[in-house]
Chain A
Amino acid sequence: MTARQLVSPERIVVAIVVVVVVIVCATTPQFLTLNNTKAILASTSVVGMAALGLTFITIVGSVVSLATAQSMAVVAMVFLAAQSWGLVPAMLISLVVGVVIGGIQGLAVGYWSINPVVLTIVTAFALTGLATLVSGGTTVNASGDGFKGLNATPGGIPLSVFVFAALALASQIVLQFSIKGRQIYLVGENRLAATSAGLPVARVVVFAWAAFGLLSSVGAMFLAAFNTSATINVGGSLTFDAIAAVLTGGTSIAGGRGSAIRTVIGVLAISIISDVLLLRGFSTGAQIAVKGVLILVFVVVVQVRAGRVAR
């Protein structure tokens, strides 16, 4: 690495932001306590799992899903409704539903080259309609209480944090070392080149979307367990939280570069910022506004650099 790269403007901006955040964190009362650390981790895991899934489709070149919240809400509703069959069958059914929802979108993007942004907007509408139709528009309550196992806190740390860590590690291994993972990067970098090289482009795209379905449905189960009931709106702002986390981590919106580790960093960064604002007593509106501006700065800096490299 040359000296010029070391002191590039992007790095200076990132360094300044990191230093400021560290100083602010260190001088914020209660920030460096064990309880606060646990709180940060707990708030990270559900959006983190969604963001890990999104990382796959962003790297493969499918930009983002705008139906993340709705997909997860549907899985959450299925999970709670299936509790009467026991925890494990409910989990399996939920995972299958998640993979199918993701996989079908992957087929559309992979085989028919449908624009993923348009596709996922349509998917969000379709899932909302379907869920409302099936549930009759009412809240879905748990049909058993096996789900409570997911709310366990071994060692005082929520189970979801451990699961998130394990999924992050597994995602990183798949992306970095598996054939499909490697091909995800190649397809995302240049789909035409991948096609003319004879790579199974469509299958790789379907794989990435199915991985998104799988990872986000794990998140959806924890979301359901935490809320104990679900409507189609249970996902809240997850769609954009996940996108923000992926982009803040530095995964390229154009595809071809990024990693699960980067997404973990992105999720943690956003959680820490939110936490500090909360501890410092900012109003909710101010919290969201400041968070938005900081994410914007990060994303612009990171993505501008990625764009320059790509050129």
Chain B
Amino acid sequence: MNSEAQGQPVVLIDGLTRSFGTSTAVDGVSFSVNAGEIRGLCGHNGAGKSTVIKMLTGQLQPDSGTITVDGEIVRLRNPHAAQRAGIAVVDQELSVIPALNVAENLRLGDVSAGFFPGRGARGIQRQLLDDLGLADVRLDERVTDLNLGQRQLVEIARALSRNARLLILDEPTATLSDSEAQLVFRAIRRVAARGCAIIFVSHRLREVLELCDSVTVLRDARLVGTASSAELTVSQLIVQMLGEAPHRPARTAGAALDERSPLSVTDLRVPGSVSGFTLEAVPGVVYGIAGQVGSGASDVLRAIAGLHPGSRGAIGLAGSSLTRNDPTSRLGSGIMYVSNDRKGEGLFLEKTVGENLTSTRLPHLSRAGFVGLNRERQQRRLLAGLTGIPDARIGEAVSGFSGGNQQKVFIARTLDRPDARVLLIDEPTRGVDIGGRAAIHELLRSAAASGMIVIFASTELEELIELGDVILTMKDGHVVRRHDGDIRGDELMRDMTHDEDARR
């Protein structure tokens, strides 16, 4: 591709700024990446990483600041412009098409490719695969026949086939096993050795320090600094990412209300995601499960809600064992579940707010199989009142509401019902603004105070610390530690990202 000497800045970002409404997502961030350098980009949720990457890949335009590639200022109006400027991106969502073969996948979305591939194209593709360590993968092999690591490499090969000068890898190993990840790392080093600049984003901090030459840290939309990996430890990196680490002294709120009717989960196992989860949860306390995507935190909640038919382990509520493992009987036992996928498996989006609010409690409002319209109307008003949605909007489709209001409607389905005993909620405030977030936390806390057992899962430190009385950290399917009383953000972070045990 090129024989440029290492050490030249390939990409230079200067004073990049971008706001959304009143909040600034990226504020005057500047850094540069040299040819042949592998740069880690770290920051906690909301630090501005993904906004920087979207600006580099042409998905977002900066409000001010410049991006320079190979000494020339570029304007990346759209992803094609970024591709033409030599910037390629590979993210955690695999975008290779399993039904096509390797060569076809390599050609996908290439703006410079003609309709018919030239004769020379196959030779170039072969060379690319060989360079990435895929010498034993044939060009006409179906992608379905490759393992996840190999698919990720095909994706990287595709990015490189466009003469990339800068390769951005956004959480490329989130879904890979350890050996598959090693395969990807070897390939990344080879790509760098040929003079390509690389930006590597990952939540797995140990991985970042192992792979990268240097690490740039963002916090609260600003640049903290760039340091050589050799001079950093995981703990120092966490301190840089969190700054004044969120810390909560032991608090007295959230005292157990009723020790005699706990939810007891014993050695819960979900094949492929949870390897042993045990918890005795009592009414009045809010429990948080802290874990990154893939840690098993979500699956613990799903399994308790009866949504993992293959799960094993004992679940008991107030002394009686719940033997039937399906969502309808778990709901019948008083276990309410609020999914993290509000649109996919949460709300009935085209139905009205009112229809959604009462959708899961129709039998409560009915006599002889028919819904009592007056009781239904009253219940809808009452629940809308709890969420702060005006009566006049109860008849509007819920799809037209903001994320925060949608989430409130979703949660309100579980409130004010005498049969509710356990509330399981996954990512309580995903896609919710600050104001909505406080209101939702208040709803959950008052649910606990009224005698519900509340368990939530979250990836966000601030939320965990704000809301959780007791926090269990999870990584790779098992509980790392239980935190209560004095809770420190940096310790949670360490548990979630850095674990001495081998992965999976």
Interface residues of A (CB under 8 A from B): 177-180, 182-183, 185-186, 189-190, 192-201, 256-257, 309-310
Q: Which of B305, B369, B370, B371 has the most CB of A within 10 A?
A: B370
- Among B331, B351, B369, B371, the residue within 8 A (CB) of A189 is B351
- Among A177, A194, A309, the residue within 8 A (CB) of B371 is A177
In the bound complex, residues from chain A placing their C-beta under 8 Å from that of B366 are: 179
Chain A residue with the shortest CB-CB distance to B372: A177
Does the CB pair A185–B351 fall under 8 Å?
Answer: yes
Q: Determine the distance from Cα of A56 to Cα of B327 in the docked complex, in whole angstroms.
A: 24
B413 contacts A by Cβ under 8 Å: yes
**What are 24 of the A-B contact pairs (CB < 8 Å)?**
A177-B370, A177-B371, A178-B369, A179-B363, A179-B369, A182-B359, A182-B362, A182-B371, A183-B362, A186-B351, A186-B355, A186-B359, A189-B351, A190-B345, A190-B348, A195-B345, A196-B307, A197-B331, A198-B327, A198-B328, A198-B330, A198-B331, A198-B336, A256-B348
State the interface size on chain B (CB cutoff 8 A).
Answer: 30
In the bound complex, residues from chain A placing their C-beta under 8 Å from that of B351 are: 185-186, 189, 256
A198 and B360 contact, Cβ closer than 8 Å, known pairs A192-B344, A256-B350: yes
Chain B residue with the shortest CB-CB distance to A182: B362
Does the CB pair B369–A180 fall under 8 Å?
Answer: yes
A179 and B362 contact, Cβ closer than 8 Å, known pairs A186-B351, A195-B307: yes
Q: Determine the distance from Cα of A126 to Cα of B104 in the docked complex, in whole angstroms.
A: 43
- Among B331, B347, B362, B363, the residue within 8 A (CB) of A193 is B347
Q: Determine the distance from Cα of A179 to Cα of B368 in the docked complex, in whole angstroms.
A: 9
A196 and B339 contact, Cβ closer than 8 Å, known pairs A178-B370, A179-B362, A183-B362: yes
In the bound complex, residues from chain B placing their C-beta under 8 Å from that of A178 are: 369-371
Interface residues of B (CB under 8 A from A): 305-307, 327-328, 330-332, 336-337, 339, 344-351, 355, 359-360, 362-363, 366, 369-371, 373, 413
In the bound complex, residues from chain A placing their C-beta under 8 Å from that of B307 are: 195-196
Q: In angstroms, how far is the closest chain B Cβ from the Cβ of A173?
A: 8
Does the CB pair B370–A179 fall under 8 Å?
Answer: yes
Does the CB pair A193–B348 fall under 8 Å?
Answer: yes
Q: In angstroms, how far is the closest chain A Cβ from the Cβ of B266?
A: 22
In the bound complex, residues from chain A placing their C-beta under 8 Å from that of B349 are: 189-190
Chain A residue with the shortest CB-CB distance to B360: A197
Does the CB pair A197–B350 fall under 8 Å?
Answer: no
- Among A183, A194, A196, A256, the residue within 8 A (CB) of B337 is A196
Does the CB pair A197–B413 fall under 8 Å?
Answer: yes
In the bound complex, residues from chain A placing their C-beta under 8 Å from that of B348 are: 186, 189-190, 193-194, 256
Q: In angstroms, how far is the closest chain B Cβ from the Cβ of A307?
A: 11
